Amino acid sequence: MADEKNDIETGSSPVAEDVDPSLHEEVIVARELQHRNTILHKLRQGEEWLDAKMGIETRGIDRIPDEERRPPSIWNVFFLWWSLNMHVGVLPLGILGPEFGLSLNQSVAASVVGIILGSLCTAYTGTLGPKLGLRAGGGYMVVNLVVVGQVLSAVSDYKLTITVGIVIVAVVGYVVSLFGFRVVHTFEKYWWMLTLVLMLVLLGQIVPYVDAGIIPQGDSGLSLAGNFLTILAINFSNSSGWCSIASDYYVNYPSKTPSWKIFALTFWGIVIPTTLVTVTGCCLSNAANTAAVPRLAEAYEDHGLGGLIRETYHPIGWSKFCLVILMFSVLGNNVASAYSSGLSLQLLGHYFHAIPRFLWSLVWVIVVAVLAIAGQEHLSTIVSNFVSLLGYWTISFTLVLLIEDQWFRRREGYNLLVWDQPSKLPIGAAAVTALLAGYLAGGVSGMSQTWYIGPIAAKFGGTGGDVGIYLSAVITLIVYPPLRAFERSKTGR
């Protein structure tokens, strides 16, 4: 029994009759587990049945060789990000600025700079998808579900609870994600178009109530600078939050696809729609919080973002129509999150890989829905705390990949035939140490959250200034290169 277990873990077990021996080692091990374990075998049969009946994707994290790739149009790279970022769930990023005491101009400036810097991270990591043909794995989905819950409640004249909207959109997003790469790419290519029109109308209808000349009373000097850096960090974290999964959507493009095309289309695909929606959020918050237009301020105070949007659109019949469409605008984002979450969990080991992606995605969606239901009354807190926490990690993650790819692998490249053989891959000690050092020494000391303000962030006074992402970046740059060089000298890999 022990020998059998060892065989499975090392991938050296005899290949079952229904397993293609040409598959990679990791895939063979997963198939062997499914062959020997009754429950896993039944799950695999269920996945194959769903594939035959509905055409769901069953590949999982397996590497896609060049000869098997079926790339969509290169422009899909650009439009993919429009669907992922052109939705009502991005509005809260703009809402926060005035709540932190920033003027409209300050809110827009902090948001746009953060969006641009964060998009650079995602654009770079995305270039590794065609080159390697490997998934990366990696949410903002909680925020999306809370917002659409508020929107549906507003449509029903506040008769339906926020929970109903959360459940509806979570289920629909999960179902679409089952169909995999091709359907996700096709879905994302078109889903954003109607939302763009409604966002432009929303911006047009809120502008008459905006007063950019009002400077909020309160923080000034160093404290105001801290608030500016906090809003910048939140927007950075949102745009860079895709960096760990961007390559999931590019693995079907040929390995010779120019990296500059992937980078440019990804960068602008994130920056343009995210900026438009976030600036609209800044205007909404300016009208409701800074200018304090009574009707809008009351709607936001009593019913949150959903109530504010309902009062902004007019007349009421048109408003409800827009709210229904906007409620489903987050599907592009949620579909991608559900799809990649299943792949991410399969990366954790042989047994995780043996469990079909559709089940892991289901587990993810359930967990996120429960979190959204629990936090539905605290949207701004979720955005300001949860989203910025991502940035401390994403900046370190991006820098580790950048240094490894452009410094240590610049000449020797990658041996893609051993991607699933741990004994021939880097042990990862340098990367893990750099990530932990960046997060704990940089992120924690520089974070500014409602539940904790780091000692360096506290130097700004007031609620602190979130400088965690900058400290994480510096520490990662200091720690990773020497540790990785030492690791290579000792292990040879």
pLDDT digits (tens, 9 = 90+) for 46-83: 666 655 655 555 555 556 666 666 677 888 889 888 88
Within 10 Å of residue 380's Cβ, how many Cβ atoms? 16
Q: Peptide bond preceding 273: is omega within 30 degrees of 0, i.e. cis?
A: no
| Cα separation, 285 vs 305, whole angstroms | 9
Q: Mean pLDDT, to the nearest integer, of 89-110?
A: 89
Judged against a pLDDT cut of 80, whether residue 374 lies above it is answered with no
pLDDT value at residue 204:
94
Judged against a pLDDT cut of 50, whether residue 138 lies above it is answered with no
Q: Residues 418-476: pLDDT tens digits?
A: 666 667 778 888 888 998 999 888 888 888 877 788 888 888 877 777 888 899 999 99
Q: Which of 160-169, 350-359, 441-450, 468-477 has the highest mean pLDDT?
A: 468-477
- Can you tell me whether residue 400 is helix, strand or coil? helix
Residue 18's identity, in one-letter code, is D
398-435 b/e (C-beta count within 10 Å ≥ 16 → b): bbbbbbbbeebeeeeeeebeebbeeeeeeeeebbebbb
Q: 395 or 173: which carries more pLDDT confidence?
A: 395
- Can you tell me whether residue 355 is helix, strand or coil? coil
| Cα separation, 336 vs 357, whole angstroms | 13
Judged against a pLDDT cut of 90, whether residue 386 lies above it is answered with no
- Can you tell me whether residue 359 is helix, strand or coil? helix
pTM over 0.75: yes
Q: How confident is the model at residue 147 (pLDDT cuts 50, 70, 90)?
A: confident
pLDDT value at residue 39:
72
The closest alpha carbon to 380, from 313, 305, 325, 460, belongs to 305
* Cβ pair 468, 479 in contact under 8 A: no
What Cα–Cα distance (Å) separates residue 296 from each residue in 279, 289, 311, 355, 380? 17, 9, 6, 49, 17
pLDDT value at residue 150:
80
% the chain with pLDDT above 90: 19
DSSP letters spanning 190-245: HTHHHHHHHHHHHHHHHGGG--TT---SS--HHHHHHHHHHHHHHHHHHHHTTTTT
pLDDT value at residue 283:
93
| Cα separation, 449 vs 386, whole angstroms | 9
Judged against a pLDDT cut of 50, whether residue 18 lies above it is answered with no
Q: Mean pLDDT, to the nearest integer, of 214-235?
A: 81
| Cα separation, 323 vs 45, whole angstroms | 41
| Cα separation, 214 vs 289, whole angstroms | 11
| Cα separation, 432 vs 484, whole angstroms | 10
Query: Which tokens in the block code for residue 62?
Result: 């397996």
pLDDT value at residue 200:
95
